[in-house]
Chains A and B, each alone.
Chain A
Amino acid sequence: MVKHRYSFFLGCVIPNRLPQIEAATRLIAPKLDIELVEMKGASCCPAPGVIKSFDKDTWLSITARNLAIAEENGLDILVLCNGCYGTLIAGVHDLKDPVTLKRINKILKGTGHQFQGKITAKHLVEVLYNDIGKEAIEETVVNPIDARFAIHIGCHLLKPSDIRPWGVVEDFTLVDELVEALGGTIVDYKLKDMCCGAGGGLRSAELEVSLDMVREKLEAMKQAKIDAMVNVCNFCHLQFDLGQMQANKHFGTDYQIPVLYYTQLLGLAQGFTPKQMGLDKHYISVAPFLEKIGMSV
C-alpha cells in the first residue's frame, strides 16, 4: 500500500547527465511506500545561480509553471537537487505575495497553467527524515554498509535559513543520521559546511575558481581517511565526481574519492546491485569503496 505520494521533480542534471541518480531513486522509493508521480512537461527549475542571476522575472515565471504542474497533480514536490530545491522553495515563498502572484500568473497566461499556492516543495532529506523516518528506513536495510563516510550537505539545502524547515544552519546532522541508519560511520572533516563551488554560474563560466573550491574540500576529505563521500544534491555530486577528475587534471592532483548520492547508498543497503545503482557510470571509480564493503561493480 502506498502511503506517501509526491510530484517527482527531475530538473536538468539528473535526467540528462546523471540518470543513475534517477534510476536509484525510482528503485528505492517503493520499498519506503513512496509513489513518485511524474511531472509531465516540467522544465529546468530554472537554475538559481544562472537564470535567476540573469533575470528574476523569467526565473520566477518558469518556476511558477513547474509549481503549477505539481499543483495540477495535487501533490507536494519531492526534489533531489539542492539548487532545484532552492528555486522551488523560493518560488513558493515569493509567490505568497498576492501582487507578485498576480503579475507572474499574467505572464503564465497562454501556457495553460496558473499557480495558486496550494503546494510546496520538499527536499529528499525532508521526505526521508520527516515523512518516512529513520526507523522505517532502517527496516528496509538488508545489507548494512560498514564504511567511513564524509558528508557534503550543500549550501542550498540549508540557506537561506529563513525559508527552510530545519531551524539550524550549522551542525546539521540529518544527513549524517540517515547514513548512520544504513550502518555507516560518519567522519568529521575540515570545511564540512563549505560550498562545493559548482553554483552561481561558476561551473559554466569560472571553472578554475569552481574547481579550486572542490579541490579544497577533497583535500580535507582525503586527510580524514574516508572510504567514500555522500551527498544529497546532484549538482554537488557532479562537482565532486566529474569535477574531481577535472581538478586532478587541472591541478596535477590525484584524488580518488568515490562519490555517492544518498539514494545510491540506500539502494546498496536495500540489496540492489551496484549496477542497478549505476555505480559503473561514475567518473571516479567506486570500486575501492565497493571492495571495502565486499561488493564489486
Chain B
Amino acid sequence: MTLLIDRRVINGSKIDGKLADDMTKAGLDRIRSCIQCGTCTGSCPAGRRTAYRTRQLIRKALLGLREEVLSDPNLWLCSTCGTCTERCPRKIDVTEAILYLRNLSCQAGYMRPEHQGVSHKLIETGHAVPIDDPKWSKMREELGLDPLPPTVHSYPKAVKEIQHIIKQTGFDKLVNYKESKKDGKT
C-alpha cells in the first residue's frame, strides 16, 4: 500500500533533545504542553506577511532540531509584539521562548551585521541609538534643550560603567566587538 502523504523523516542525528531541556531550565517549561493549535501563528502580524510560522518554530524546538531552529533567519522576523503569549491556550510564554532561542542563535554565531552594529554602539556609547552626528545636538538646541542629554552622553564615567558590565557578561565577545575592530568589519 502506498501512502498518500509524503513522510518527512527526521534524521536521528539532527535531533538534540537537550534543547527542550535547556528551555525548561530557563523557565520555559510550559513549552512542553504545546498542543500545536496554531493560535500563535494565527495571531502573528509578522507571519501574516512572511513565511515565518510561530507554531512551526515551537514544534521544531520541541523536536530538538537545534541547528535548523537556530540558523533559521525567520527566527528574526518576530516583532516581539506579545500577542501569541496573550492568546496561547496553554499559557506558554511564546515571545520569551523566541527571545531565548535568539540568545542561543547568537551564541551559535548567527548574528545579523545590523544587530552587531547596534550592539557595538551600545558598547561604545551606552546608547544603542547615540548622537552620532552633530545635527541631532543642533536640533536639541533649537528646541531649547542642552546639546547633550543628561544620559551617558554627559557622563564619561557612566560609559565606563556600561563597558564594565559588558566585560562581566562577555557581551563584547558575543557580538564580536574587539575582533570586528581589528579587521575593520562592522
Q: Which residues of A contact B (CB under 8 A)?
A: 10, 12-13, 15-17, 19-20, 22-23, 26, 38-44, 46-58, 61-62, 65, 107-108, 110-113, 155-156, 158-161, 169, 194-195, 197-202, 204-206, 209-210, 212-213, 278, 281
Contact = CB atoms under 8 A, between A and B. Distances in A.
A43 B140 contact: no
Nearest to A19: B140
A57 B169 contact: yes
Contact of A159 (B50, B83, B151, B165): B83
Contact of A42 (B81, B151, B164): B151
Contacts of A212: 49
Contacts of B37: none
B161 A155 contact: no
Given A22-B145, A42-B151, A108-B165, A209 B77 contact: yes
Interface of B: 45-46, 49-50, 76-83, 85-86, 93, 95, 99-100, 102-103, 106, 111-112, 114-115, 117-119, 122, 126-131, 136, 139-140, 142-145, 149-155, 157-158, 161-162, 164-166, 168-169, 171, 174-175
Contacts of A111: 161, 164-165
A280 B151 CA distance: 25
B136 to A, nearest CB: 6
A210 B86 CA distance: 22
B149 A10 contact: yes
A281 B127 CA distance: 22
B28 to A, nearest CB: 12
A55 B93 CA distance: 18
Contacts of A61: 165, 168-169
Nearest to B75: A53
Given A58-B171, A110-B168, 15 more contacts: A10-B149, A15-B151, A19-B136, A19-B140, A19-B143, A22-B145, A38-B150, A41-B155, A44-B126, A44-B129, A58-B169, A61-B165, A159-B81, A197-B79, A281-B142
Contacts of A159: 81-83, 85-86
Contacts of B95: 160
A158 B95 CA distance: 14
Given A41-B157, A65-B161, A160-B86, A209 B50 contact: yes
Given A19-B136, A46-B122, A169-B86, A39 B130 contact: no
Contacts of B155: 40-41
Most buried by A among B111, B153, B169: B169
Nearest to A198: B79
Nearest to A169: B86
B114 A205 contact: yes
Contact of B80 (A10, A57, A155, A281): A155
Contact of B129 (A12, A41, A56, A156): A12
A69 B7 CA distance: 57
Contacts of B131: 15-16
A199 to B, nearest CB: 5
A11 to B, nearest CB: 8
Contacts of B126: 43-44
A123 B98 CA distance: 25
B149 A62 contact: no
